[in-house]
Amino acid sequence: MPEVLVLVDHDGERVNKATYELLAAARRLGDPAAVVVGIPGTATRLTESLARHGATSILVAESTDVAQFLVTPAVDALELAVRETAAAAVLVSATTDGREVAGRLAARLDAGLLVDAVDLDSSGLVTQIVFGGSYTVRSQVTHGIPVIAVRPGAFEPEEHPGEAGRRELTLPPIAPAASARITARRAAPAGDRPGLTEATVVVSGGRGVAGADGFKVVEELADALGGAVGASRAAVDAGYYPHQYQVGQTGKTVSPQLYIALGISGAIQHLAGMQTSKTILAVNKDPEAPILGLADYGVVGDLFSVAPQLTQEMAARRAAN
């Protein structure tokens, strides 16, 4: 079987769930070879979990510099890995960084790039959902080694234990004139909530939440359901909730099992980011709100009485179990 390169997304200690999804996707095309880019010692910490999820080899690109520079070390590592293996394809998570890595790699390989794949088959046919959920498109790479950025959450992680051999890659030195240095990082306060794009439940608040304080109601419901919190652009622009959590055309695209919209009207640009969710629930005071026209379960009512009651029911249910 040919090797399929998978760029490992990690925080230095742990592999992100989206990488296990990539490994599952990669197995449809060949033997997944995980490419770890990090400071020295990183790969050793990640090997066991990568092997357990189907990586058949680990390509290690470690140096003290890599954490300090944006995107380019990962591109350099993948370019090297492609040149040193007979890789059939390269898979990267379609995160903010991942899209940039994939684009730059494709440019260096003069290869076809497909972004935001939600499915792919053994022949390399890729499914994408475009224009905010209005079209399903199937595409193929026609030139070069396919570089595919896969939407987080689109595949199920699978355990597939085996041995993973280790190979080293020697990164070229960083070109300071062509690289941006990261001088400080402030991680998003992760808390105990799942990431927005990987969560199976997302509870989002809109302008109807009426203030930063009001978002407590949204957070409490999300926590009761083990979900992530999202926000409409109006809520973000009003300063109720940080930008990273914006759902929609210019925010994140989410496709959870359950999406709950609280005080969100359902503008086309918001729907663009969530209308492929499995089940949609909405609470809105206005019976004419467009979101109620597509919710699987719509409540005309005040979110400040409906949401806390639902939170309470869920908490009571959990206590009883």
Ligand X SMILES: Cc1cc2nc3c(=O)[nH]c(=O)nc-3n(C[C@H](O)[C@H](O)[C@H](O)COP(=O)(O)OP(=O)(O)OC[C@H]3O[C@@H](n4cnc5c(N)ncnc54)[C@H](O)[C@@H]3O)c2cc1C
CA distance 91 to 103: 12
Taking CB under 6 A as the rule, does residue 152 contact ligand X?
no
Q: Write out the two tokens for 134.
A: 């209005």
Binds ligand X (CB under 6 A): choice among 234, 260, 281, 310: 234
Asked if 273 is part of the footprint of ligand X (rule: CB under 6 A), the reply reads yes
* Closest distance of CB 270 from ligand X, Å: 3
* Shortest separation between residue 210's beta carbon and another protein, angstroms: 17
By a kind-dependent CB cut-off of 5 to 8 A, residue 121 interacts, out of ligand X, another protein, none, with none
We find the least distance from the C-beta atom of residue 163 to another protein, in angstroms, to be: 31
Which option in another protein, ligand X, none does residue 81 bind, with CB closer than 5 to 8 A by kind?
none
Contacts of 133 (CB under 8 A, 6+ apart): 271, 272, 275, 276
Q: Based on CB atoms, which residue is closest to ligand X, 73 or 206? A: 206
Q: Is 277 in the site for ligand X (CB under 6 A)?
A: no
Structure tokens at 298: 């719509």
Residue 207 binds: one of another protein, ligand X, none (C-beta under 5 to 8 A by kind): ligand X
Q: Which does 296 bind (CB under 5 to 8 A by kind): another protein, ligand X, none?
A: another protein
d(CA 104, CA 31): 24
Paired strand residues for 246: 231
Buried b / exposed e across 160-194, counting CB within 10 Å, b at 16+? Answer: beeebeeeebebeebeeeebeeeeeeeeeeeeeeb
Cα separation, 224 vs 310, in Å, equals 9
Residues that bind ligand X (CB under 6 A): 206-208, 232-235, 246-251, 263-265, 267, 269-270, 273, 283-286, 289, 302-304
